[in-house]
Amino acid sequence: MGFIKPHAVLVPFPAQGHINPMMQLAQKLVEDGFIVTFVNTDFNHARIFQANNMAKSGLSTDEVEICHNIRLVSISDGLAPQDSRTDFAKLTNSMENCMGHSFHKLIEEINEKEQHNVTCLIVDINVACWSLDIAKQYHIPSAAICPASAATYATFYNIPNLVSAGLLPSNGVFKEQKMVDYSLPSMPPIHCTRFAWMVGSEEDQEILFHYTLRNIESVRDIESVICNTFLDLEATILNSFPEQDLVCPVGPLIPSQFFNGNISQSNTGLIATGFWAEELQCLEWLDKQSPESVIYVSFGSLVILNERQFEEFALGLEATQRPFLWVVRNDLLDGTTTVFPSGFTERIKDRGCLVSWAPQLSVLSHPSIACFVTHCGWNSTLESISMGVPMICWPYFADQFLNCSYIAEVWKIGLVLKANNNGIMDKLEIETAVERVLSDEDGVEIRKRVRKLKKSGRDAVKEGGSSSINYKSFLNATKNS
Ligand code: UDX
């Protein structure tokens, strides 16, 4: 009888910052002998296909489905094409109502029609409540991945305890404004409006809080929970989980090719997952800049600025008088078009590079990069640490405030920008933060600390490193269960 490969079905939450690390895990699994079926929503599948010009490269949707030994399949998220996918309360409601059923059908079809039955499910903790039932029903071993920090996971995991201790209201939404010190080890106190579920209206926040709770309940009794982090970065919080619910750090999941210098995604053999086309010419622009001179600015895939915030930020960048590479997504502004301050593009043309989406891993690993102005999404945070780049933080929502506190207060590898009462980041604030990180005494220490963490992160994923050992036991458990 021939050797039958294990077949993992991977399900990310349908957002850029969740699909990227899940795909990084998929590539690792394939290298380790798995067949992977990667389940996107129809909406995101089409978007990725289009953004990455897969059709132009002569591929049909079917061929894309089997490229690089990973099958990309998709199911509906239940929303209409014109509906917003950033209304998370609506999206999670719709997913919970519709996706469980389609996912069930998908697994049944694979098992009925194909040679390779599903041998394990690996789901994002943020989709656990509708995706794991089928694993129980068919006795398919399952695991969950937290694509955010262990601290974020610890917050979710401890919700029931925090509610019982009276530190969180039972619907997750505070009646009064206050700081909450939730007494978890290493966890900085957080303002009550800055928990990860505090997104949208009060009603939305409650929906997201209960959705989070259902997800956490669903992962309590599964075989393993892995996390895209590493032990040295979050040892205190990782060690605070009880024995029966340990969370295994297996990160950074960043492909190791990026640790060896500046390369672009297009020549790594990795499957592109961007919702926007990468503008690779910015790498040539970076080649022409001096070492450690460029400010890289990106606010990830979801941040939206209003016109005043955008204008003042642009003027602040200009005022630094330093070269910069700024990712201005076509939907970064809350209006319909991007309006730069009058004369801005002309004035900065010799030292500014504007793109709508960058090959971020290649950019951060480029020797010309000096610092990263970031919204503190977990992927951006971990990518910056892995490349040893200090951060200037402007968090926007969800887990980003907690990540920001760790960057500034716990690891001390970056500074926080402080907005005025109208939420505008004064241009002087930006100029001063950049100067402090790049030239002052503060900056020297910040750079030293982030480079130390970069080394720890890379050591963790090397043969014999903590994440590598954890990943191997996860792999063995997954293969043999
Ligand atoms: C979201 C949440 O906002 C974040 O807080 C959570 O931790 C994950 O999900 P997002 O806002 O998109 O993610 O930020 P982030 O986590 O930083 O992920 C963005 C990803 O897009 C990163 O992998 C980054 O490398 C990539 N990216 C970003 C690009 O490839 N090019 C760009 O120009 C910008």
Partners of 100 in the β-ladder:
none
Q: How far is CA 331 from CA 42, 88, 281, 420, in A?
A: 21, 17, 21, 24
Over the stretch 114-160, which tens digit does the pLDDT of each residue have? Answer: 777 899 999 999 999 999 999 988 889 999 999 999 999 999 999 99
Question: Are 339 and 417 within one domain?
Answer: yes
Closest Cα to atom 7, ligand 1: which residue?
378
Question: How many whole angstroms from 242 Cα to the centroid of ligand 1?
Answer: 30
Closest Cα to atom 20, ligand 1: which residue?
17
Confirm whether 192 is domain-assigned. yes
pLDDT > 70? residue 362: yes
Question: How many whole angstroms from 354 Cα to the centroid of ligand 1?
Answer: 18
Confidence class for position 480, pLDDT limits 50, 70, 90? low
Query: In the chain, pLDDT over 70 holds for what percent of residues?
Result: 94
Confirm whether 263 is domain-assigned. no
Q: What pLDDT, on a 0 to 100 scale, did the predictor assign at position 1?
A: 44
pLDDT > 90? residue 7: yes
Structural domain for 193, as ranges = 7-254+461-480
State how many domains the chain has: 2
Question: Are 250 and 315 within one domain?
Answer: no
Question: Are 105 and 52 within one domain?
Answer: yes
pLDDT > 80? residue 56: no
Q: How far is CA 337 from CA 307, 326, 331, 363, in A?
A: 10, 16, 8, 26
Question: How many whole angstroms from 376 Cα to the centroid of ligand 1?
Answer: 9
Confirm whether 418 is domain-assigned. yes
Question: Are 106 and 235 within one domain?
Answer: yes
CA distance 34 to 30: 5
Cβ 388 vs Cβ 316: under 8 Å:
no
Atom of ligand 1 lying closest to residue 358 CA: 33
How far out from the chain centre does Cα 402 lie?
Answer: 14
Q: What pLDDT, on a 0 to 100 scale, did the predictor assign at position 61?
A: 64
Q: What pLDDT, on a 0 to 100 scale, did the predictor assign at position 257?
A: 87
Question: Are 183 and 286 within one domain?
Answer: no
ipTM of the complex: 0.98
pLDDT > 90? residue 440: no
pLDDT > 50? residue 403: yes
* Residues framing ligand 1 (Cβ under 6 A): 15-18, 20, 148, 274, 298, 300-302, 327, 357-358, 360-361, 377-380, 383, 398-400
Average pLDDT rounded to a whole number, residues 182-186: 83
Q: What pLDDT, on a 0 to 100 scale, did the predictor assign at position 163?
A: 93
Confirm whether 136 is domain-assigned. yes
CATH number of the domain within which 357 lies: 3.40.50.2000
Question: Are 402 and 331 within one domain?
Answer: yes
